[in-house]
Each structure stands twice: as structure tokens, then as C-alpha cells.
């Protein structure tokens, strides 16, 4: 029994969470449904989803790592320009899997069939966000969700 429980814990621990955002341009272009279909068909499971509009303060905090970059002000304006959907996703290797589905930051360099290739317009307006590492995924998921929001 104890062995089975340990096995179960190991299996559960292999699951990883990541934060996905369907950015304002993709929502405005009515690509939300198409992006959610890509998520569902990929096998990533949606633990929680919410529509909201970021305040400038929230956008500055969420992207604080980029605050010294030349594009920071433009990024905050873009991310607050309309509603977004935030999603907590879970699977084995969720962080890498979601970033692979999104494609490269610059849609011009993103792989054929990736979300940014399909729906991104430019390096700035690139349709989606994904956490880039386990530490950032934890912080970003917690930025929008609490544990009791997650439904399996």
C-alpha cells in the first residue's frame, strides 16, 4: 500500500504546471477558440481559465523582468489594450510543450503551424504568452490563480 502511494506521488509529481495567456490581439481577432482547440488537442489539460483585463500596474508587475528593456512601455500598453484569457495548464513537461506549441517569440521565426506563426502579427503582437522555466511558472500561475481554482 505504502509502495503504491509512493508510486502515485511520483507519478503526480511528474506533472508540471505553466501559465498561458491568450494576448489582447488574439482575443480581438477572435482566435481564442482556435488557440484553446490547439491546447485541448495537444493533451495539455486546462486546470483553470479566466478572462480579465490587466491594469497597467499588473502588467508592469507581471513583466517586471523586462522593465529595463526598450520595449517595456510598448509591452505594457499592448498587454493592457484589451481583455486577455489566462490559463493554468498541466501535463508532463507542460512548460516546454506549451512553448513549443506557441513557437518562437517572433512570429516571423516561429515554426509552421505554431500559434505565433498562425496568429501572431509581429515581435510585439505575438498572440500568446508562456512561462519559460519552473520557477517563473510557479510565480506566474500564482499571479492569477489560487490552488482552489484548479479543477481536474
The CB density around residue 17, as the number of other CB atoms within 10 Å, is 22
Beta strands in the chain (DSSP E): 15-22, 45-52, 84-92, 128-130
Bridge partner list, 45: 90
Which is nearer to ligand ADP, 60 or 129 (by Cβ)? 129
Residue 129 corresponds to which cell in the numbers above? 504568452
Query: With binding defined as CB under 6 A, does residue 118 bind ligand ADP?
Result: no
Asked if 39 and 90 touch (Cβ cutoff 8 Å), the reply is no
CA distance linking residue 94 with residue 98, whole number of Å: 6
Q: Site mask, ligand ADP, residues 88-117, x = CB under 6 A?
A: -----------------x------------
Query: With binding defined as CB under 6 A, does residue 123 bind ligand ADP?
Result: yes
Quick one: which segment of 24-32, 71-79, 116-124, 128-136 binds Mg ion (CB under 5 A)?
A: 128-136
Q: Catalytic: which of 39, 87, 129, 140?
A: 129
Q: Least separation, in Å, of the C-beta of 105 and Mg ion?
A: 7
Report, as residue numbers or ranges, the catalytic residues.
129
Amino acid at each position: 500500500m505504502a509502495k503504491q502511494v509512493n508510486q502515485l506521488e511520483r507519478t503526480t509529481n511528474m506533472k508540471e504546471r505553466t501559465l498561458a495567456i491568450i494576448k489582447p490581439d488574439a482575443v480581438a481577432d477572435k482566435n481564442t477558440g482556435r488557440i484553446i482547440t490547439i491546447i485541448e488537442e495537444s493533451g495539455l489539460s486546462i486546470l483553470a481559465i479566466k478572462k480579465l483585463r490587466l491594469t497597467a500596474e499588473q502588467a508592469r508587475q507581471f513583466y517586471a523582468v523586462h522593465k529595463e528593456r526598450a520595449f517595456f512601455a510598448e509591452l505594457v500598453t499592448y498587454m493592457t489594450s484589451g481583455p486577455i484569457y489566462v490559463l493554468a495548464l498541466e501535463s508532463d513537461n507542460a512548460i516546454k510543450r506549451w512553448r513549443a506549441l506557441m513557437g518562437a517569440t517572433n512570429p516571423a521565426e516561429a515554426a509552421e503551424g505554431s500559434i505565433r506563426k498562425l496568429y501572431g502579427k509581429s515581435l510585439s503582437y505575438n498572440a500568446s504568452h508562456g512561462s519559460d522555466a519552473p520557477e517563473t511558472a510557479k510565480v506566474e500561475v500564482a499571479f492569477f490563480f489560487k490552488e482552489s481554482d484548479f479543477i481536474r
